A and B are shown apart, each in its own frame.
Chain A
Amino acid sequence: MSAPMLKVEHLSVAFGGVKAVSDVSFEVRPGEVFTLIGPNGAGKTTIFNAISLIVPATGRISYEGRDLAGLAPHQVAKLGIARTFQNIELFEHATVLQNLLIGRHVHRRTNLAAELLFLPSARREEHEFREAVEKVIDFLDLAHYRDQMVAGLPYGVRKVVELARALSTEPRLLLLDEPSSGLNVEETDDMAFWIHDIQNDLGITVLMVEHDMGLVSRVSTRVLALNQGETIAEGTPAEVQSHPAVVEAYLGTAEAT
């Protein structure tokens, strides 16, 4: 078995008195789709935020053997980790193309002076960026929306644009926070194919939070179930879904709502 790509050890996050994540450990192996499931408020997004270094956490997170502690949030992207957000965080007053180009930011090599004068180095870089971004546009079928403002796009498309923006960074590890939420059946189906292709054709490792059990079973290699910040089960999709603690956690919330 290969060395883990992402290793989360004894991760805990508390907001005031609320323990959002308590002592969670897991490993994501290269090439797999690892999925976090759990009822609302289980702490899944908080784990993503801890990996993005935007919430203070205790424990240890290492990526490709390197401890993330001591890095600034913006440096995470440079390591090759990209993410999407549960409540879509796009650059609303920019076009789809511009959004994806911002995704290329980690690959910037020019300096301010070269940009102000648009020296040949800046022009060359722009060409490279566009070449990379056009590949993502083709891959996710976004050509039709390419020059449109994000603000005017339907929800389903925005979800795809956010995925495209994350892919534009050329990540090795992709964090997807509820990629299918708010999508209709057809769009969810597309999403499943894309995640599959991202894993198999692009060779990107995926860590995902997802509610749709159909999608989870279709694309996940392994699943970790959380409830109230704690790990309750880990294993293949089938194993986790039939685990008594998982059944109980979901029934519990079903009764509550």
Chain B
Amino acid sequence: MRFIFKTAYEQDIRLFKHGGQQFWYGLLGVALLAAPWVLDDYFLGQLTFILIYGIVGLGLMLLSGYTGLISLGHAAFLAVGAYTQAILAAKGWPFPFSLTAAALLAAATGIVVGLPALRVKGIYLAIATMAFGFIVEEVLARWEHVTGGNTGIIVGQLQMFGWTADSEESFYYVALVVAALVTLGVLNLLRSPTGRAFVAIRDSEISARSMGIHLARYKTTSFALSAAITGIAGALYAHKLRIITPEQFTILQSIEYLMMIVVGGIGSVHGAFFGAAFLIVLPQIVAMVKDYLPPAIGQATGLQPTIFGLVLVAVILFEPYGIYGRWLKIRTFFQLFPLYRRGLFRRQKAFMKSERLR
């Protein structure tokens, strides 16, 4: 076990709590930077998708994981970002500008969608955000001269100031930089009053208010930021897909994003990326093992969603903190190695059980 002796407030504030963390995250950074030399175009493309979904996950995590507000309409924010990017890029806007516009427009949409959240919670909010998702889907299909209707829009290559991301590698690096900046922004927010206000609202509105937190303002802020981040992911998504159509932004995708952050680990930044990795890697694994399964199972339609569903149920039952929770335990196991006791996490688990019964 590692004991961290606190000598200064700065130790609590800084992002890397100790040298070990600095080392491991440094290593991760190097690995991500070196990925194009190791991976072929296909796998690099998949890694890019993980980064993009990771950004979506961060956006949704801020809203659902940290502020406790559910959204079944996040695909619509992704759509706002993607279509804004597609249209502005076609007009020749350099990427940083069109990306900003995509984020701002998504944020504005988020503020409007967040209005019901000021009055309702839980299932009612889920329905309200879902309805918003349907509206956006409908607009995308009907507003043909702007969105291209059901045929969609063909998106050109990402470009800025005379430079074009014309290879898998160059686009990967753009996605990596954007993902890193968004992650940094979210981490900064979480160690500041606004991020803590979100957590306060999630855990007890009545207390949050008695601590001077303006509920409506912070819920709206959470929706706006969440939508903006998802819009940013949408802008990248548009270039990655090259053709965007309304059917890529339906309620099914919204549900998938929610499942993604639950499986990854609700209420953690790691969880967003773990969930994204899961979402991308699972279909690959299913495709690989399919042929080895009895045909009745292997060739069944809906195999992948079924597995996804089963994993989700298993996570909710056995590991409420998702992959990240499991990761923490494995890490602790190795830190304590010879002294690890089976009962170590039992108390915590008993607590989670009683929590769920409430």
- Residues B203 and A90 in contact, CB atoms below 8 Å apart: yes
Asked if residues A74 and B9 are in contact (CB atoms below 8 Å), the reply is no
Q: Is B347 an interface residue (CB 8 A)?
A: yes
Residues of B within 8 A of A77 (CB): 210-212
Identify the stretch in B83-91, B183-191, B231-239, B243-251 within 8 Å (CB) of chain A at 4 or more residues. Answer: B183-191
Does B12 belong to the interface (CB within 8 Å)?
yes
List A residues 101-159 near B (Cβ within 8 Å). 101-106, 108, 110, 112, 115-118, 122-123, 125-127, 130-131, 134, 151-152
Proximity bits, A67-107, B CB within 8 Å = 1, else 0: 00000111111100011010001111110011001111110
| Residues on A with beta carbons closer than 8 Å to the beta carbon of B196 | 94, 98, 101-102, 105
B214 touches A89 (CB 8 A): no
Residues of the A chain whose Cβ atoms lie less than 8 Å from the Cβ of B199: 91, 93-94, 98, 102
| Closest-CB distance, B285 to chain A (whole angstroms) | 31
Give chain B interface residues in 8-32, CB to chain A under 8 Å. Answer: 9-10, 12-13
User: What's the Cα separation between A33 and B191 when bound, in Å?
Assistant: 36
Is A165 within 8 A of B211, CB to CB? Answer: yes
Does B204 make an interface contact (CB < 8 A)? yes
Number of A-B contacts (CB under 8 A): 114
For chain A, what secondary structure do more than half of its interface residues adopt (helix, strand, loop), or is it mixed?
A: helix
* Residues 162-188 of A at the B interface (beta carbon under 8 Å): 165, 169
Contact of A152 among B204, B214, B348 (CB under 8 A): B348
B351 at the interface (CB under 8 A from A): yes
Q: Residues 215-242 of chain B: 1 if any A CB is under 8 Å from the residue's CB, otherwise 0?
A: 1000001000000000000000000000
| Interface of chain A residues 160 through 218 with chain B (CB within 8 A) | 165, 169
A118 touches B9 (CB 8 A): no
B207 within 8 A of A: yes
In angstroms, how far is the closest chain A Cβ from the Cβ of B194? 5
* Contact-size category for B: 35 or more
Least distance between A153 CB and chain B CB atoms (Å): 10
In the complex, are the beta carbons of B213 and A105 less than 8 A apart? yes
Q: Is the CB of A72 within 8 A of B221?
A: no
Shortest Cβ gap from B179 to chain A (Å): 15
Is A90 in contact with B207, judged by CB distance below 8 angstroms? Answer: yes
A contacts, CB < 8 Å to B? 52, 54, 72-78, 82-83, 85, 89-94, 97-98, 101-106, 108, 110, 112, 115-118, 122-123, 125-127, 130-131, 134, 151-152, 165, 169
Question: With A92-B203, A115-B193, A118-B188 in contact, do A83 and B210 touch (Cβ < 8 Å)?
Answer: yes
Least CB distance from B127 to A in Å reads 25
A-chain residues with CB within 8 Å of residue B215 when the two chains form the complex: 74
CA distance A181 to B200 in the complex (A): 24
User: CB of B265 within 8 A of chain A?
Assistant: no
Q: How far is the CB of A208 from chain B (nearest CB, A)?
A: 16
Are the CB atoms of A115 and B194 closer together than 8 Å? yes
B309 to chain A minimum Cβ distance, whole angstroms, is 26
Chain A residues with Cβ below 8 Å from B211 are: 77, 82, 102-103, 105-106, 165, 169
The 8 Å CB contact of A112, one of B207, B209, B221, is: B221
Contact status B347-A93, CB under 8 Å: no
Task: Evaluate contact between A131 and B185: CB separation under 8 angstroms.
Answer: no
Partner of B193, one of A75, A94, A104, A134: A104
Q: Residue on B with the closest CB to A91?
A: B203
| Most chain B CB neighbours (cut-off 10 Å) among A82, A90, A104, A116 | A116
